[in-house]
Amino acid sequence: MDEDIILEEEAIADERAAEAARLGAAILNQPIRELATLRPAVCVSPKTAVRAAIERMNHGGVGCVLVEDRGRLIGIFTERDVLTKIVGTSIDIDRSTVETLMTRDPETLSPDDRVTYALNKMSVGGFRHIPLVDDEGHPVGVVSMRNVVDYMVDLFRTEVLNLPPSPGHSAHAREGA
C-alpha cells in the first residue's frame, strides 16, 4: 500500500515537472510576433498636437503612440507621459506637440525576438510598452504588458480562469439565482 502511494506521488511529481518544462519552453521560445493579442502600431508625426495623439490612443484603445519621422521610429508617447508630464500642469495640449513630451529613441525589439526579451526589458527598464521595429527601423507594432499578461493567462488558462470570484472565497452558486 505504501509503495502504491509513493509511485502515485512520483507520477504526480513527474507530471508537474513535464508541465513546468513545457511552460518554460513556451515562454523562452515564443516569438513576439505570435502573441495572439498583438496589434499594429498607432503612429503619429512629431508635430502632432498632444490632444490629437491622446485622441488616437483613445480611439485605438492603446496605451501609446509611436512617433515616426520619414517612416523611422524617433520616439514613443504613452499614457504614463500624459499622467506624469501633463496632468496638473499648464501645458496647452492643443498647441504642444508630442515631440516635446515623448521619450526619444526608445528601446525596441523585433517582432522575431522572443517574449522573454520583452519581459526582460519591461522588468529591468520599467516599461509597459516596447516598440517593435523591422530591420530598417520602421515601426511595425508595440508589445505591451497586456499582451504578455494575456499570453501568460493563455499558458495557465485552466488555473487562472477557474479561480473563485475573489481570494479567500470558494466558488458557490448564488442562492435564488
Instruction: Calculate the CA 100 to chain-centre distance.
Output: 25
Cell numbers 519581459: residue = 119
Cell of 130: 516596447
Could you tell me if 138 and 73 are in contact, meaning their C-beta atoms sit under 8 angstroms apart?
yes
* pLDDT at res. 101: 96
Give per-residue pLDDT as tens, 121-177: 999 999 999 999 999 999 999 999 999 989 988 887 777 777 777 777 655 555 665
The pTM of the whole model exceeds 0.85:
no
Give per-residue pLDDT as tens, 11-45: 877 777 677 667 666 667 899 999 999 989 999 99
Give per-residue pLDDT as tens, 96-136: 999 999 999 999 999 999 999 999 999 999 999 999 999 99
* pLDDT at res. 176: 61
DSSP string, 12-80: HHHHHHHHHHHHHHHHHH-BGGG-TT-BPPPEE-TTSBHHHHHHHHHHHT-SEEEEEETTEEEEEEEHH
